[in-house]
Amino acid sequence: MERERVIVSAVSFSLKQTCPDSSARLGELVTPHGTVPTPVFVPVGSQATVKALTPDDLKSLGITTVMANTYHLYLRPGIEVIEQAGGLHKFMGWPGVMMTDSGGYQIFSLARLRRLDDQGVTFRSHIDGSQHLITPELAIRFQESLGADIIMVLDECPPLSETLEGVAAATERTHRWAERCLRARTRHDQALFAIVQGGLFPELRRKSARFLSTLDFSGYAIGGLSLGEPGAQTDDMVSEVVAQLPEAKPRHLMGVGSPNDIINGVSRGIDIFDSALPTQVARKGALFTRKGRLNIRNAGYRRQDGPFDPDCGCYTCRNFSAAYLHHLFRSQELLAYRLATIHNLYFMTGLMKSIRKAILSGSFGSFRDDFLAHYRPTDDGVRLVQRERWLKAQSRKEANQE
């Protein structure tokens, strides 16, 4: 009887328009904390903050939605602390729409610190080495306590190096956990998204999308991509999945934040993107432009009196020279991170507005082609190197706990 229980979500999605020359679509996501036009980019604030910015900064930049991470908040400050504060919105002073990830990816990235079975995942904290168990039911309970508008199932995210048999087993476990998450939910004012897995195996991706589409989820996320694989493979897997998903439900591509990848995702019918990439690279001095990412640390900016990007209307480019921003980074001044983050998120919100405008006018195909013709992406080799550096950093964290 419990499995037949239906909870009508207060979060709804409506499809407004599709594009005649691609699968791009215009939609609207209505939640208790605001209405979100889609396609939309969602910055990641894992620990209840988008680093270097205040909620007022985010609102002024046109950010409608922020994603926090249940794994990080569970470990610090603790779910009960946030619950006693009145929920995540009040705790972080953010009046807009909130999403939370279950933390599955973060847990599974700490390979040597966890073990899993059908019950759930047992892991050691990367902070103090303490041992914890998270089950699908607990993942839902924690996210309901946090009170985000959109929450995620607990899933298993296998590494790219996993075998076909290993990915198949992880995908089946993800399906069983998704069913348990669905049965465990109690709140009507939150949307619960399933997460499609399947690695880089097309048949597993199709199978996962088809199975999860038979269940009563409010939306469908695509996980386990943008982990260092070539962009063309990401695009292929997205196309395989989207073809199996219900048209009337929102589609979320997790962990994708490069402008060119977003353009390609929109072209394949994706509605929601989340990533820490724009804010992470900003703190390293990499700033977005229509030509690609440029590094303000480079010596060529040392004497540039004008703005970093003359075509940009963000607070940073309107008020400060490239030379000043270069100086802040070279001097390791904290203001550098704030100004660079403002610029990158302004770029991202502007990009999404332009995408929505192009879909509305029926010209997304030409907009996409023009954008990609002028934008120089980070090549796949560099992406892989960056990913390997991140994995090594995670390994060092693990070693410190042993």
Which residues are part of the catalytic machinery? 101, 274
Nearest to 188 by CA among 7, 391, 389: 7
For 269, list phi and psi in degrees, rounded to 5.
100, 20
How far is Cα 219 from Cα 144, in angstroms, rounded to an integer? 17
| CB hemisphere CA count around 1 (13 angstroms) | 0
In contact, 55 and 95? CB cutoff 8 Å: yes
**Going by DSSP bridges, is the β-strand pair 191-196/286-289 parallel, antiparallel, or unpaired?**
unpaired
How far is Cα 310 from Cα 307, in angstroms, rounded to an integer? 6
How far is Cα 162 from Cα 196, in angstroms, rounded to an integer? 16
Q: Is 37 left (phi over 0), alpha (psi -120 to 50) or beta?
A: beta
- The DSSP code for 254 is E
How far is Cα 372 from Cα 351, in angstroms, rounded to an integer? 12
In contact, 278 and 348? CB cutoff 8 Å: yes
Q: What are the tokens at 188?
A: 């009507």
Q: Where are the beta strands (DSSP E) in 135-198?
A: 150-152, 191-196
For 258, list phi and psi in degrees, rounded to 5.
-75, 135
Tell how many helices (H) and how many strands (E) occur in the chain. 16, 16
In contact, 342 and 355? CB cutoff 8 Å: no
- For residue 303, CA distances in Å to 293, 299, 314, 326 come to 20, 8, 21, 9
How far is Cα 276 from Cα 255, in angstroms, rounded to an integer? 7
For 13, list phi and psi in degrees, rounded to 5.
-130, 135
How far is Cα 189 from Cα 148, in angstroms, rounded to an integer? 9
* CB-CB neighbours of 394 under 10 Å: 17
